[in-house]
Amino acid sequence: MEYQTKAIAGGRTEYFSLTRTATYSYLAALPLFLAYEILILVVNGGGTAQIRVGADVWIKQAMSTIGAPGLFSIGLLVILIGTGVYFAERKKNVPVYGRYFLLMIGESLLYAIVVAFIVSYIVGAIFAAGLVNVEAFTGTAMSAQASGPGKIEMLVLSIGAGLYEELVFRVLLVGGLYWGIKHLASEKVTAYLIAAVVGAAIFSAVHYIGPLGDVFELSSFFFRFLFGLALNGLFLVRGFGVAAWTHALYDILVVSQILG
């Protein structure tokens, strides 16, 4: 089989090939799912008014339409996705190596730091001429919510954002846009570029919607737009698992003030 041959060869080719598969993306995302769902119940203390990631709420509301309420609905979704991944890749005989998941987290941490630095530098260079009052770009992703949830709650929400926002904006939105546009565009690259740009714009725009949304500023919108494009690229090149961990780790670094 394809992956068995590569496993014998070993090295970086095997690592990058295997960790792009749906199997590794699914398994890598499970710790984020478990950590968020357990910790969000702890920090909310069982209260009726619970603080959750918006994308999490959207998915649960969508699942509730088929009669699967609350945590059961997302658990059902996890099982359905896992079943789909199993049947989609069962013939590939994908080997699972525990050390590769640690490498994926380390790789994602590197991307989180490098992408934040590059995007901040670009936005700072563009808006330094005084077109917009520039604030700390690396701290914009979660800043508007700081007056509501405390730091512990924000750290938990960071984990959920990495998982659920990547599922909604990368897998469903960008993936869905690509699937629809590729039937109209003459080349797949063109279809993905359009999907990536539109998806990044929507990803940035939703941060200004709702009671916890930020006050709109062109500089912060552009920062999130470029960050969304970077995540789209990671999703395409490295898969959902790395994109989700990159997003989660970036938000955690921002909330803990290691970045910013």
- Asked if 136 contacts 253 with a C-beta cutoff of 8 angstroms, the reply is no
d(CA 112, CA 162): 11
State the residue for tokens 């603080």: 51
* pLDDT(130) > 80: no
pLDDT tens for 99-127 read 999 999 999 999 999 998 898 888 888 87
Question: Residue 250: pLDDT band by 50, 70, 90 thresholds?
Answer: very high
d(CA 25, CA 22): 5
Q: Structural domain boundaries of the chain?
A: 2-255
- Residue 93, CA atoms < 13 Å, CB-side half-sphere: 7
Question: Residue 40: pLDDT band by 50, 70, 90 thresholds?
Answer: confident
pLDDT tens for 200-212 read 999 999 888 876 6
- Asked if 254 contacts 153 with a C-beta cutoff of 8 angstroms, the reply is no
pTM of the model: 0.82
Q: Report CA dihedral (259, 151, 170, 228) to the nearest 10 degrees.
A: -40
